Structure 1
Amino acid sequence: MLDKVKKFTRKRPFLSLFLIFILTLPVTLHFLFWGLVALKAPNYQGEIVSDKLTSKVTVIRDEAGIPHIVAGDAKSAYFALGYTMAQDRIFQMELQRRIGKGELTEIFGEKLIPTDQFLKSLLLKKTAEEYANQKEHIYPEAWNQLDWFLEGVNHFLSEDNLPIEYTILGIKPKPFDRVDAISFLFYMGFSFAEGIKSDSLYTIMESELKGRSASELFPRYDFETNATILETQPGVQRLAKAKDFYLEKQRKEISSPNRSKIQDVTNLKQLVSFVGQLQLPIEPLEGSNSWLVGPSRSESGGAVLANDPHIALSNPGAWYEAYIEYPGYENYGYFLSIIPFPLIAHNREKAWGLTMLEQDDVNLYLETIDGSKFKSGTGWKDLTYYRDPIRRKDGTEIPFEVGITNHGPLITEHITGFKGRPVSLYWAHHHLQNPLLDVLFQMGKSKSFTELDSASSMIGAPGLNFSYADKNGNIAYYAVGRFPILKSGNSRKILEGSTGENDVIGYVPAKNNPKIINPKNGIIVTANNQVTNKALPGLGKPEGNWQPPDRFQRLVGILETKEKWSLEELAAIQNDTVSSFAPEYLDLILSAVKDAKTPNGKKVLGILKTWNFEHFPESQGAAVYDVFFYITLRELLIDEMGTANFELYGDIAEYWNAYRHFVRNPDSTFWDDLRTEGITESRDDILKRAVEETGRYLENHVSASPSLWTWKNLYKIKHPHPLGVLPVIGGIFDIGPLPSAGGAEVVNNLKYKLMKEDWTAFAGPSKRRVIDYGRFEESVTQLPIGNSGNLASPFYGNLVEEYINGVHRKILYSKEQVGEGRFRLEFRPR
């Protein structure tokens, strides 16, 4: 055969050359692409000269790629910080400002028009312009420092190499300004997906369910005990069991479909589906863990802070890690790469971390609109309007306008085909002063808990749990963000907006927000769980989109087992993968299901009986347990909810809260399968069915051989890049999918999309760190994939193995620790 090809090509030399060209084309393109990437490598060594600088600055990058910035004054320090961040994150910064302002269509094309319309409806750019253009700011110095930072970013744009993404998309960046930064800062404070989906779906299910209670599907913490921040810390006496009036409440709320609202509900499904399908290159905050150990409970004798905020996984990651020092100021912090002040930081005096408070500061209202007016109480008021055109890639513009009621913007105006009553979005951010830049500036300068508390108390939204530790041995927890007070109404569902009876009439004063300072038990834990089960002034028991209590209860359970904890032990806890609900759940399952009918069903039971509750790559129990969890949930609810609603339900935390109660409540009517007429299923019937279905699922989706039913063969984590969707080269930018320890609602909370049967983790710890003031220079951290988002950087993806394997690295803080570093870049005035 080879001889025939040689004879053929000798007779036709042109075809021979063409064949060689075709065969070598992939190799040629490979070298051309990577050659172009190499030309765009950031310059980490040498000298930068600018007339914007007023003193010398040294930037040393350590072996992990973390910049250590030391300057002679603030102006030069922030210029260097802006330039340094831009070297690693300029394309991420490009996306950040476009997300905040609703300008993604201009670079990604018309498929992003709905996303831009929604982002503009959130009024992020509008409120950013109003805030940035105020005549007087709380701290004018903060705005000067932002400007110096942006000068550094823009100097990079004018003089250094832009990464390959700009070439691929064919775009040239414009200079960055204040509104770019503030718009994105406001965006990160809006966890819109949870509130909009949860309130809408509650309303839909309340209308559609027959003989079932919608409140069972959306219980928040109605049936939970031992799960609140203020009352359930390690060593604190446990609360009493949930009272029977919750069960009575559930029975009273069982209803038949409400036919008068069927059309509204049909359109609400469009709203929920629309929000679920939005294409956002950067997701807002998801959740988090944090705990504090006082000197009486630490082996070092110093206060210890451990914190790991959870955000959607991405490449580059959410946080930029850097040390910055100039006379009178030093912080080692974790920055949003478009903001010059760290959201999370520490120095030799103090450390702070944050988690999402998850209080309900977002409500939806059904509005009555007539022309340019909306009904409010007994009268009619004029809509106001926000206008800001959307720009296409070719430079042409699409007019954009959103109407605004007293509650907020009408977020349904731009949903194609939406014909129901308009829905407005109430968000505390739109109704309160929210000087986030001033807050971050002052937090970084604060010298004590009192100063930090005072600065952060100015936050209107989002709600955050702050954790604090300092060199003097103090530990503290406090909630920031405002708790809205409704005149009446159930804030778990969409509210009637025309009567005025459901309006927000005030806010809990910031001074009354929950707080714990130096507790006697010496430990404080938070994990996005309910903040308190007691009334707040003027509000009553606070409502919220509380995340499931599993992580909180696991942390409390661990930390009350020993009197004293070492830095290494506390760091190891951040990698913990034990499912805290599993022992109780499996005890119930194995009591109800003594045997299985099929070989695979028997194998499922056998694996569950010997599982140690951990989620590691080689674990069979993790794979079997999580699939069984899903199959049981599907068999329990698919008949009542239908496929579409069931998938939407999986996008909010409530399904996990509800499932915990369903499993504990054999009398719930949801256990009966509506698809089997004439038969009433019990909880045990569904569990038995789920065992057999789990075996079939694993056989079809993992392997016909049960020995290969391992967590790594089912579950992966991935750090997706915005250009990862491109054909041929897209995969070059993504990091993963990779096998990893972790899972949903374990401490190492790497969550996947359960109801969509997508076992690739999409969110998780965005950084991990443990700061021990008894061993300060031995404090440790993890960053998921590294600091750089530039494909040509030696630090691109350089830390991913450490993250997957749960390996903490030492935080290099002092000059002695940093030494000469790996790269050195000098800045000097012209």
Structure 2
Amino acid sequence: MFLFILTLPITLHLLFWGLVSLKAPRYQGEIRSEKLTSKATVIRDEIGIPHIVGEDAKSAYFALGFTMAQDRIFQMELQRRIGKGELTEIFGEKLIPSDQFLKSLLLKQTAENYANQTKHIYPEAWEQLDWFLEGVNHFLETEPLPIEYTILGIKPRPFDRVDAISFLFYMGFSFAEGIKSDSLYSIMESELVGRSASELFPRYDFETNASILESQPGVKKLTSNLPIPNVNPKNDLKGSDIKSSLSQSNKDITNLKQLVTFVSSLNLPIEPLEGSNSWLVGPSRSASGGAVLANDPHIALSNPGAWYEAYIEYPGYENYGYFLSIIPFPLIAHNRDKAWGLTMLEQDDVNLYMETIEAGKYKSGSNWKELTYYKDEIKQKDGTKIPFEVAITNHGPIITEHIKGYKGRPVSLYWAHHHLDNPLLDVLYKMGKSKSFQELDSASSMIGAPGLNFSYADKDGNIAYYAVGRFPILKSGNPRKILEGSTGEHDVIGYVPSKDNPKIINPKNGIIVTANNLVTSGKIPGLGKPEGNWQPPDRFQRLVGILETQEKWSLEELAAIQNDSVSSFAPEYLEILFSSVKEPKTLGGKKVLEILKNWNFEHFPESQGAAVYDVFFYITMKELLIDEMGPEHFELYGEMAEYWNAYRRFIRNPNSNYWDDLRTVETLETRTDILNRSIELTARYLEKNVSASPSLWKWKYLYKIKHPHPLGVLPLIGGVFNIGPLPSAGGAEVVNNLKYKLMKEDWTAIAGPSKRRVIDYGRFEESVTQLPIGNSGNLGSPFYGNLVDDYINGVHRKILYSKSQVGDGKYRLEFQPK
């Protein structure tokens, strides 16, 4: 018995990895199918990137579907279940709230309406989607499925159009922050006494030199480092603090807390786009004399990663791209003629409305209108089905209906996606087929949501930026809070025409930078000042600052910038600190100040300054706001971009009422008091959580990155699927933007660059890229996690584009008619 117990773990280990090996994808040989009428060849290069060449479009897309399924079929399974709200069926009843929320977003309904249209803009796009899905389904029918299917007991079923489109629409789910931000603003506005809620949600009200249209490198700027006037926040109310017609009772506010907590607690296995950096360098500013595109979208870190990297070619078409693994057309791509990248625009295309509902009707102005309903069902693991129904007003679906215990006024979600034609599949198809910037611009102008910043470069030396997605126009302007839905006074009355969206084409300065920052500090025709959940300007300003330092930039230099981990706000922040604080009383406090004074502002694993600075930032934020917000709201606030925007304003404004600590009734604290206290608390935190020895206060002992797998939470075997945690350079709001949950004291990065890429049309075949972990999500593949070290170390690899670069390849799979 003792020997049995001793050898059992070894036996189970061998059985597990033996099963994984049996389920490994086959990358060599021949695939035959009656669906094919011509041939295709898939050659994988040495790190696992497939190069697909078909004799016609049908064979190429069939091969692409089969190839993606080999590496990502479990990810594809999750993608369709997220888009349609079907997670409970494989993960169990704990996912019922997530499915209810996902179904409330009407992703499946809008996907069905779009997919089942009798007439599409580009019918060939749908034909190619069908060919792609035939390849996916051929894999399901003929090949062993990865270990995740066995563990979860998933019974495979064919993929269809709605599966693909539902998830494509889900990736427009960029508004979770908007739901949380509008809700928390309304809560704080109601609860704060002697404080202005607008100070917590400043967006770009006090920022200069930080907008895409007005603040590019080489463009004449306003005077930098403008002094911040000492204005009492009580006399500093912005337009967004003007009361709307929404009357909120204490009961309303209590229930709004339930809403924001619920949305924050959703733990979806695939997260949407979060941020990104992108910049373009024209021929006059590049060392090669060609146009250059650099792009790194930021998405939640995961295993597998967000993008599937592949090259596809057939007569009349070729693209090297980055795909969502359930979609046959790349979202980001390049070929010998053109390249494009994207970042999130972050404009406000979402509103929450408090509704008045009685007897199946909702109040809209002076009228009462009938609710409409969307009905579906949630299937459980045991096969039983739970009926699902969501009510819909003229604003959108009621998203509070399925929040357990919610008893407040119903809250509806307005999302531009629900109210506009949004032919995303047709757009992606046309973008890949386009021959010029004008064609790409025309195709992307059809996007209703989400809002995206598109960056474009081509072989002719053109560079361009254009904002896509629609800007809603509200009757009453766009405040930053939940709106009263019954009066009609806050309804959307139209949209800015796509032709009036911001654009920059071949600027004289030769450089264009975007980083999810404010699109324009001016006005957009028909809209005025745009509102949005703009990310902090730190990355944008750092990129602008770097790219202004020299006239010409090489491919290698631009690639190095993608790994930049310097905090652009730290010099200003620390200058204020050093000029304000007194000499610390303790040895620990003295060491904190000493380390900060000697820091070079970089976030590298060996850096002491990075560890001390980020802990000090957190402690100061906590001491500044925990008394007004309380622990729960403080943590929720940390999930929004606004906390960083607000802190930039707070640290510059010593007269803000927030500096006074409400917990000390007899004392009126100042900025200096809070900063002094935070220095000492930082030392205690580091001594407790890192080391008693300041020499070990290093970033690598505090901060890690991790690529979590959906099964990584399972006991015993979960750790096999996760990659990490691992020490890495990077941090929050640096160019190498690997963000963590600061307000929850969780120093493990949860989101970051989902790929890095630099395309240089003066040295096209030397262009470079990075993936975070590898192209395959199959545990038995040699390309599972094979690129982790390169990503952590910031090592770009050459993109193998031409046939001569790829060669015959070690792994070659032929697709033939049966």
Is the TM-score greater than 0.5?
A: yes
Question: Hey, what does 1:39 align to over in structure 2?
Answer: 22
**Aligned pair partner of 1:373 in 361, 373, 388:** 361
Shift of 1:248: 7.5
Letter in structure 2 aligned against 1:48: I
Report if aligned partners of 2:230, 2:655 keep a CA contact under 8 Å in 1.
no
**Aligned pair partner of 1:727 in 715, 733, 737:** 715
Shift of 1:192: 2.7
What is the rounded CA distance, in whole Å, between the counterparts of 2:126 and 2:478 in structure 1? 40
Question: Hey, what does 1:749 align to over in structure 2?
Answer: 737
What is the rounded CA distance, in whole Å, between the counterparts of 2:390 and 2:413 in structure 1? 12
Q: Which stretch of the first structure deviates more once superposed, 85-94 or 533-542? A: 533-542
Question: Hey, what does 1:289 align to over in structure 2?
Answer: 277
Question: Hey, what does 1:568 align to over in structure 2?
Answer: 556
| Alignment of structure 1 residues 171-186 onto 2, 5 Å | 171-186=154-169
Cα deviation, 1:492-547, whole Å, max 9, x if unaligned, reads 10000000000000000000000000000000000000000111111101000000
Cα deviation, 1:365-388, whole Å, max 9, x if unaligned, reads 000010210000011000000001
**Aligned pair partner of 1:93 in 56, 72, 76:** 76
Report if aligned partners of 2:232, 2:656 keep a CA contact under 8 Å in 1.
no
Shift of 1:810: 0.2
| Alignment of structure 1 residues 734-773 onto 2, 5 Å | 734-773=722-761
| Alignment of structure 1 residues 386-465 onto 2, 5 Å | 386-465=374-453
Shift of 1:490: 4.0
What is the rounded CA distance, in whole Å, between the counterparts of 1:242 and 1:445 in structure 2? 50
User: Could you say what secondary structure the match of 2:325 adopts?
Assistant: coil
Q: For structure 2, which runs of at least 5 residues remain unmatched after alignment?
A: none
**Aligned pair partner of 1:683 in 671, 679, 683:** 671
Change (3 A) 1:71 1:238: same
Over the aligned positions, Cα root-mean-square deviation in angstroms equals 1.4
Report if aligned partners of 1:715, 1:759 keep a CA contact under 8 Å in 2.
yes
Question: Hey, what does 2:567 align to over in structure 1?
Answer: 579
What is the rounded CA distance, in whole Å, between the counterparts of 2:234 and 2:419 in structure 1? 33
What is the rounded CA distance, in whole Å, between the counterparts of 1:190 and 1:255 in structure 2? 29
Letter in structure 1 aligned against 2:152: L
Change (3 A) 1:323 1:743: same
Question: Hey, what does 1:696 align to over in structure 2?
Answer: 684
Q: For structure 1, which runs of at least 5 residues remain unmatched after alignment?
A: 1-17
**Aligned pair partner of 1:251 in 236, 256, 261:** 236
What is the rounded CA distance, in whole Å, between the counterparts of 1:756 and 1:259 in structure 2? 32
1:194 aligns with 2:180: no
| Alignment of structure 1 residues 58-73 onto 2, 5 Å | 58-73=41-56
What is the rounded CA distance, in whole Å, between the counterparts of 2:247 and 2:560 in structure 1? 54
Shift of 1:594: 3.8
Question: Hey, what does 1:543 align to over in structure 2?
Answer: 531
| Alignment of structure 1 residues 626-705 onto 2, 5 Å | 626-705=614-693
What is the rounded CA distance, in whole Å, between the counterparts of 1:619 and 1:562 in structure 2? 27
User: Could you say what secondary structure the match of 1:308 adopts?
Assistant: strand
Letter in structure 2 aligned against 1:350: K
1:483 aligns with 2:468: no
Shift of 1:491: 3.0
Cα deviation, 1:536-579, whole Å, max 9, x if unaligned, reads 11110100000000000000000000000000000000000000
**Aligned pair partner of 2:88 in 78, 99, 105:** 105
What is the rounded CA distance, in whole Å, between the counterparts of 1:303 and 1:30 in structure 2? 52
Change (3 A) 1:145 1:242: farther
Normalised TM-score (structure 1): 0.97
User: Could you say what secondary structure the match of 1:297 adopts?
Assistant: coil
Cα deviation, 1:696-753, whole Å, max 9, x if unaligned, reads 0001111111111100000000000000000000000000000000000000000000
Change (3 A) 1:206 1:489: farther
Question: Hey, what does 1:149 align to over in structure 2?
Answer: 132
What is the rounded CA distance, in whole Å, between the counterparts of 2:478 and 2:115 in structure 1? 35
Change (3 A) 1:447 1:249: farther
Question: Hey, what does 2:514 align to over in structure 1?
Answer: 526
**Aligned pair partner of 2:259 in 267, 271, 279:** 271
1:26 aligns with 2:12: no
1:52 aligns with 2:35: yes
Normalised TM-score (structure 2): 0.98
What is the rounded CA distance, in whole Å, between the counterparts of 1:145 and 1:246 in structure 2? 60
Report if aligned partners of 2:452, 2:467 keep a CA contact under 8 Å in 1.
yes
Report if aligned partners of 1:223, 1:246 keep a CA contact under 8 Å in 2.
no
Question: Hey, what does 1:134 align to over in structure 2?
Answer: 117
Cα deviation, 1:253-279, whole Å, max 9, x if unaligned, reads 7899x9952111100000000001112
What is the rounded CA distance, in whole Å, between the counterparts of 1:271 and 1:670 in structure 2? 26
Report if aligned partners of 2:288, 2:762 keep a CA contact under 8 Å in 1.
yes
Shift of 1:593: 1.9
1:121 aligns with 2:104: yes
User: Could you say what secondary structure the match of 1:100 adopts?
Assistant: helix
Report if aligned partners of 1:95, 1:104 keep a CA contact under 8 Å in 2.
yes
User: Could you say what secondary structure the match of 2:353 adopts?
Assistant: strand
What is the rounded CA distance, in whole Å, between the counterparts of 2:489 and 2:524 in structure 1? 21
**Aligned pair partner of 1:170 in 143, 153, 161:** 153
Report if aligned partners of 1:316, 1:721 keep a CA contact under 8 Å in 2.
yes
Question: Hey, what does 1:11 align to over in structure 2?
Answer: none
What is the rounded CA distance, in whole Å, between the counterparts of 1:260 and 1:193 in structure 2? 22
Letter in structure 1 aligned against 2:207: E
Shift of 1:55: 1.3
1:239 aligns with 2:227: no
Report if aligned partners of 2:295, 2:756 keep a CA contact under 8 Å in 1.
yes
Question: Hey, what does 2:589 align to over in structure 1?
Answer: 601
What is the rounded CA distance, in whole Å, between the counterparts of 1:639 and 1:77 in structure 2? 60
What is the rounded CA distance, in whole Å, between the counterparts of 1:261 and 1:809 in structure 2? 58
Letter in structure 2 aligned against 1:641: M
Letter in structure 2 aligned against 1:655: Y
Letter in structure 2 aligned against 1:619: S
Change (3 A) 1:465 1:250: farther
Change (3 A) 1:425 1:572: same
Question: Hey, what does 2:209 align to over in structure 1?
Answer: 226
Report if aligned partners of 2:196, 2:234 keep a CA contact under 8 Å in 1.
no
Cα deviation, 1:95-123, whole Å, max 9, x if unaligned, reads 00000000000000000000000000000
**Aligned pair partner of 1:718 in 706, 709, 731:** 706
Letter in structure 2 aligned against 1:76: S
Report if aligned partners of 1:635, 1:686 keep a CA contact under 8 Å in 2.
yes
What is the rounded CA distance, in whole Å, between the counterparts of 1:358 and 1:550 in structure 2? 16
User: Could you say what secondary structure the match of 1:806 adopts?
Assistant: coil
User: Could you say what secondary structure the match of 1:400 adopts?
Assistant: strand
Shift of 1:678: 1.4
What is the rounded CA distance, in whole Å, between the counterparts of 1:552 and 1:255 in structure 2? 30
Change (3 A) 1:223 1:168: same
Report if aligned partners of 2:233, 2:657 keep a CA contact under 8 Å in 1.
no
What is the rounded CA distance, in whole Å, between the counterparts of 1:745 and 1:301 in structure 2? 31
Report if aligned partners of 1:305, 1:770 keep a CA contact under 8 Å in 2.
yes
What is the rounded CA distance, in whole Å, between the counterparts of 2:803 and 2:499 in structure 1? 40
User: Could you say what secondary structure the match of 1:173 adopts?
Assistant: coil
Shift of 1:239: 2.9
Change (3 A) 1:379 1:725: same
What is the rounded CA distance, in whole Å, between the counterparts of 2:175 and 2:641 in structure 1? 13
Change (3 A) 1:707 1:245: closer
What is the rounded CA distance, in whole Å, between the counterparts of 2:571 and 2:475 in structure 1? 42
% identical aligned pairs: 82
What is the rounded CA distance, in whole Å, between the counterparts of 2:650 and 2:619 in structure 1? 14
